[in-house]
């Protein structure tokens, strides 16, 4: 039975959510190509370097926050509905959608108002050049923060709809195991509820009142820390839905079955437990946080590699099972038996392959000492275009090729275009992210409109900086073409339903839910432990940040900065050192002689 025939109401909602996601994807991609050509110096004719930061903010917010959140809301709605076999509670789910949409529009207006010369609102000119990491001291128009807050509250409501659905299902099925897809959605949402505490306090408690002028000062380190409290786990809020597709759809697409349902549950529980108490790994270079706390964050981060390594094993094993069912043989020969002509399959497999590389650059980021080498360089955007920009985005696009027909009763307009699209993405990203990683190692900074400084050459240990700039620009152009092909293909597959029957049931795991210990489904227990871990990881750092810098930043002494030329300092310094030298001579002289 096809999803849209069985659950027409939820289908309509999911379609709306996907459409908003793809509109954001299209606009965000446009900003992406403009800024890539700008910062590489290939073409600077479209925007001024001052507007670069507005576009960069729009790019990050529309892609990393709006595209992802709407797609995830749609995907989760589909997953909960099909696995619990009942329509979502419509009222809550639609209100969630409206709030999220309203919030996203407000934030986008605040950002774009900056370049469009929009009228001033609330006595302030519209602007929000705060980047998608919108902590202080950069300040946006209050509208931006209101928008962000509504997007988050909307996502909370969306989660409520999934939980209401679970409770309703539980009443009718008191003894059954939570179906795997619903389990994945619920653990992700529990993680999300914990993570968003940080950003909600930052936005509502500090950034919004500060932008409204209710108080003059702010403690930047505090808002940064609250931001990263959320800013790390948000990456798993993006990744876990991609994993949901890899675990539950990819095996079927491969022609086989998921290797292990219990292992998949363990992975999602581990993410719930470990995603949040690691945010300080984005702050290794922040003064004001003791090294010991950073060390704890690093250790937790290394544990957090485990669920992804388990995933690599389980998902590849399931693909291999599929390939062998299709007649594949040999140690690696089975790879040839996979359905490479299916864009949904190929997109997800290529996304997984790129994530292996993205995961390794993540491990490098996570090491405190190596982080000093790459922090704030172009290496970091290289890392996250492999992770959120490919593991997540390409999986979502590939998943759409499979889902969209079931939501619309229309065939995909063109499978060959779909296939070309995912391959172009892979090639474009290989070029762009490789160039970004290498340039990062050369010291090229991120978030910079014109990273070419007069009288300064980046030292290239191999190749040349011009070569890598061109590689980056070429990759970005391919990515833009790929996005246009994707959005066009989906737009052309929309309209009045044509024929039913596009769905295919998902295969059952080789080792099913019955094999997994019942305690895994005890969501209260895992939520409780996750909260305890967060309290342990964050209480002391937050107390010391507030103690040192004040809740609202008052009482912070300016950090002493030596601005005098060294020569004027040298004389008094050597005069001051004289008694010490004398003392050293007197005491050590005898020993040394
Ligand atoms: Fe990260 C910075 C550490 C994963 C996103 N990360 C970022 C930023 C973003 C981001 C957006 O410790 C920049 C934020 C900003 O603007 O400043 N990251 C990690 C670590 C992981 C990691 C340890 N990141 C992600 C994911 C993201 C994401 C996932 C988005 C979705 N990241 C960091 C750190 C920083 C950072 C530091 C701060 C850097 C700085 O200084 O600013 C790990 O979770 C990675 C684990 C992954 C693996 C890979 C397993 C492989 C798999 C592939 C299986 C293959 C298949 C296909 C299925 C160990 C699962 C097979 C195909 C066949 C054909 C057979
Ligand atoms: Cu992180």
Q: Distance, CA 166 to ligand 1 centroid (Å)?
A: 31
SS3 424: helix
Per-residue pLDDT of the chain (593 residues; tens, 9 = 90+): 689 999 999 999 999 999 999 999 999 999 999 999 999 999 999 999 999 999 999 999 999 999 999 999 999 999 999 999 999 999 999 999 999 999 999 999 999 987 777 778 887 888 899 999 999 999 999 999 999 999 999 999 999 999 999 999 999 999 999 999 999 999 999 999 999 999 999 999 999 999 999 988 999 999 999 999 999 999 999 999 999 999 999 999 999 999 999 999 999 999 999 999 999 999 999 988 999 999 999 999 999 999 999 999 999 999 999 999 999 999 999 999 999 999 999 999 999 999 999 999 999 999 999 999 999 999 999 999 999 999 999 999 999 999 999 999 999 999 999 999 999 999 999 999 999 999 999 999 999 999 988 888 888 777 888 899 999 999 999 999 999 999 999 999 998 877 777 777 888 999 888 888 999 999 999 999 999 999 999 999 999 999 988 888 865 555 555 555 556 666 777 777 787 777 777 776 655 54
Is residue 236 annotated as a catalytic residue, yes or no? yes
Residue 210: the pLDDT is: 95
Residue 557: the pLDDT is: 55
Report the nearest-CA residue for atom 10 of ligand 1: 384
Q: Is the pTM of this model over 0.85?
A: yes
d(CA 440, CA 211): 33
Residue 554: the pLDDT is: 66
Cβ-in-10-Å burial (0-12, 13-18, 19+) of 423 comes to: middle
Q: Which of 52, 53, 71, 236 is catalytic?
A: 236
Q: Scan for tokens 């929009």, then name that residue.
A: 118
* Residue 276 CA neighbour count, 13 Å, CB half: 31
Ligand nearest to the CA of 305: 1
Q: Distance, CA 342 to ligand 2 centroid (Å)?
A: 33
Phi-psi region of 89 (alpha: psi -120 to 50; beta: other; left: phi over 0): beta
Domain boundaries, the chain: 3-592
Q: Could you write out the three-class secondary structure of 25-86?
A: HHHHHHHHHHHHHHHCCCCCCCCCCCCHHHHHHHHHHHHHHHHHHHHHHHHHHHHHHHHHCC
Q: Could you write out the three-class secondary structure of 428-445?
A: HHHHHHHHHHHHHHHCCE
Is residue 383 annotated as a catalytic residue, yes or no? yes
* Contact (Cβ atoms closer than 8 angstroms) between residue 278 and residue 300: yes
Phi-psi region of 330 (alpha: psi -120 to 50; beta: other; left: phi over 0): left
Closest CA to 28 of 99, 96, 104: 104
366 CB near ligand 1 (under 6 Å) = yes
Q: Distance, CA 279 to ligand 2 centroid (Å)?
A: 6
Q: Distance, CA 173 to ligand 1 centroid (Å)?
A: 38
Q: Which of 15, 324, 375, 447 is catalytic?
A: 447
Residue 222: the pLDDT is: 96
Q: Which of 38, 141, 265, 385 is catalytic?
A: 385
Residue 355 CA, closest ligand 1 atom number = 53
d(CA 154, CA 175): 32
* Contact (Cβ atoms closer than 8 angstroms) between residue 305 and residue 267: no
Q: What are 247's two structure tokens? A: 């675990």
Q: Distance, CA 230 to ligand 2 centroid (Å)?
A: 9
* Residue 404 CA neighbour count, 13 Å, CB half: 28
350 CB near ligand 1 (under 6 Å) = no
349 CB near ligand 1 (under 6 Å) = yes
Residue 593: the pLDDT is: 46
Q: What are 305's two structure tokens? A: 């590699």
d(CA 576, CA 228): 43
Ligand nearest to the CA of 393: 1
Report the nearest-CA residue for atom 9 of ligand 1: 384
Is residue 384 annotated as a catalytic residue, yes or no? yes
Count of positions (residues) in the chain? 593
Q: Scan for tokens 């936005």, then name that residue.
A: 203
Ligand nearest to the CA of 236: 1
Residue 86: the pLDDT is: 97
Report the nearest-CA residue for atom 20 of ligand 1: 362
Q: Distance, CA 299 to ligand 2 centroid (Å)?
A: 13
Residue 246 CA, closest ligand 1 atom number = 58
Q: Distance, CA 128 to ligand 1 centroid (Å)?
A: 27
Q: What are all long-range contacts of 48-52, with beta carbons under 8 Å and residues at least 24 apart?
A: 49/449, 49/450, 50/449, 51/114, 51/115, 52/449
d(CA 80, CA 475): 37
d(CA 28, CA 35): 11
d(CA 118, CA 547): 41
Q: 3-592, superfamily in CATH?
A: Cytochrome c oxidase-like, subunit I domain (1.20.210.10)
CA angle 467, 472, 473 (to 5 degrees): 100
Q: What are 421's two structure tokens? A: 């699209």
Q: At a CB cut-off of 8 Å and minimum separation 6, what does 424 contact?
A: 478, 479, 481, 482, 485
426 CB near ligand 1 (under 6 Å) = no
Residue 424: the pLDDT is: 98
Q: How far is CA 431 from CA 35, 212, 398, 437, 491, in A?
A: 16, 43, 20, 10, 28
Q: Could you write out the three-class secondary structure of 127-169?
A: CCCCCCCCCCCCCCCHHHHHHHHHHHHHHHHHHHHHHHHHHHH
d(CA 386, CA 431): 11
* Contact (Cβ atoms closer than 8 angstroms) between residue 361 and residue 393: no
447 CB near ligand 1 (under 6 Å) = no
* Contact (Cβ atoms closer than 8 angstroms) between residue 478 and residue 431: yes
Report the nearest-CA residue for atom 16 of ligand 1: 133
Q: Distance, CA 98 to ligand 2 centroid (Å)?
A: 30
Report the nearest-CA residue for atom 5 of ligand 1: 384
Residue 164: the pLDDT is: 98
228 CB near ligand 1 (under 6 Å) = no
Q: How far is CA 515 from CA 173, 182, 183, 342, 518, in A?
A: 19, 17, 15, 32, 9
d(CA 139, CA 558): 20
Name the DSSP letter for residue 419: H
Residue 575: the pLDDT is: 78
Q: Which of 3, 67, 384, 396 is catalytic?
A: 384
Q: Which of 39, 141, 383, 502 is catalytic?
A: 383
Q: What are 512's two structure tokens? A: 């099913």
Task: Pick from 242, 311, 384 the residue to mutate for probing ligand 1's pocket: most ligand atoms within 8 Å of its CB.
Answer: 384
SS3 204: helix
d(CA 244, CA 266): 13
Task: Pick from 191, 231, 235, 331 the residue to mutate for probing ligand 1's pocket: most ligand atoms within 8 Å of its CB.
Answer: 235
Ligand nearest to the CA of 277: 2
């Amino acid at each position: 039975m096809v999803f849209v025939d069985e659950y027409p109401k939820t289908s309509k909602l999911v379609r709306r959510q996907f459409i908003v996601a793809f509109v954001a994807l299209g606009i965000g991609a446009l900003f992406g190509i403009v800024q890539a050509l700008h910062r590489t110096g290939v073409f600077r004719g479209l925007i001024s370097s001052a507007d670069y930061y507005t576009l960069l903010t729009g790019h990050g917010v529309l892609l990393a926050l709006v595209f992802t959140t709407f797609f995830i809301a749609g995907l989760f709605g589909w997953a909960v509905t099909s696995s619990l076999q009942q329509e979502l509670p419509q009222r809550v789910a639609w209100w969630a959608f409206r709030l999220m949409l309203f919030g996203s529009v407000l934030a986008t207006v605040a950002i774009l108002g900056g370049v469009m010369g929009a009228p001033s609102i609330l006595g302030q000119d519209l602007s929000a050049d705060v980047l998608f990491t919108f902590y202080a001291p950069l300040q946006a128009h209050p509208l931006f923060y209101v928008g962000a807050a509504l997007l988050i509250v909307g996502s909370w409501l969306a989660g409520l709809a999934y939980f209401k659905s679970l409770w309703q299902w539980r009443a009718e099925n008191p003894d059954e195991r939570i179906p795997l897809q619903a389990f994945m959605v619920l653990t992700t949402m529990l993680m999300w509820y914990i993570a968003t505490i940080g950003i909600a306090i930052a936005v509502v408690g500090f950034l919004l009142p500060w932008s409204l002028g209710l108080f003059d000062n702010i403690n930047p380190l505090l808002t940064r820390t609250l931001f990263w409290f959320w800013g790390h786990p948000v990456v798993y809020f993006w990744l876990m839905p991609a994993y949901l597709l890899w675990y539950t759809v990819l095996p079927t697409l491969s022609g086989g079955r998921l290797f292990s349902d219990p292992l998949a549950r363990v992975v999602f529980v581990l993410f719930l437990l470990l995603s949040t108490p690691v945010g300080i790994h984005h702050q290794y270079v922040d003064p004001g946080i003791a090294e010991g706390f950073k060390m704890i964050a690093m250790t937790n981060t290394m544990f957090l590699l485990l669920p992804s390594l388990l995933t690599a094993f389980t998902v590849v094993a399931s693909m291999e099972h599929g390939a062998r069912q299709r007649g594949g043989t040999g140690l690696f020969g089975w790879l040839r038996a996979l359905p490479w002509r299916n864009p949904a399959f190929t997109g997800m497999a290529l996304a997984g392959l790129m994530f292996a590389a993205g995961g390794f650059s993540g491990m490098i980021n996570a090491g405190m000492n190596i982080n000093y080498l790459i922090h704030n360089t172009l290496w970091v955007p290289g890392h996250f275009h492999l992770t959120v920009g490919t593991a997540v985005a390409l999986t979502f696009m590939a998943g759409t090729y499979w889902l969209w027909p079931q939501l619309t009763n229309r065939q995909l307009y063109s499978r060959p275009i779909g296939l070309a699209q995912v391959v172009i993405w892979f090639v474009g990203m290989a070029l762009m992210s490789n160039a970004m990683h290498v340039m990062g190692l050369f010291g090229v900074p991120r978030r910079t409109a014109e990273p070419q400084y007069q009288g300064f050459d980046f030292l290239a240990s191999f190749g040349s900086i011009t070569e890598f700039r061109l590689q980056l620009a070429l990759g970005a152009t391919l990515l833009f073409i790929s996005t246009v092909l994707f959005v066009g293909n989906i737009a052309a597959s929309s309209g009045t339903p044509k024929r039913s029957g596009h769905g295919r049931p998902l295969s059952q795991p080789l080792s099913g839910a019955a094999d997994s210990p019942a305690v895994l489904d005890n969501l209260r227990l895992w939520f409780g432990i996750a909260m305890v871990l967060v309290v342990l990881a964050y209480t002391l750092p937050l107390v010391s940040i507030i103690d040192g810098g004040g809740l609202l930043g008052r009482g912070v002494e300016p950090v002493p900065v030596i601005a005098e030329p060294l020569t004027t300092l040298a004389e008094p310094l050597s005069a001051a050192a004289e008694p010490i030298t004398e003392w050293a001579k007197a005491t050590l002289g005898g020993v040394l002689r």
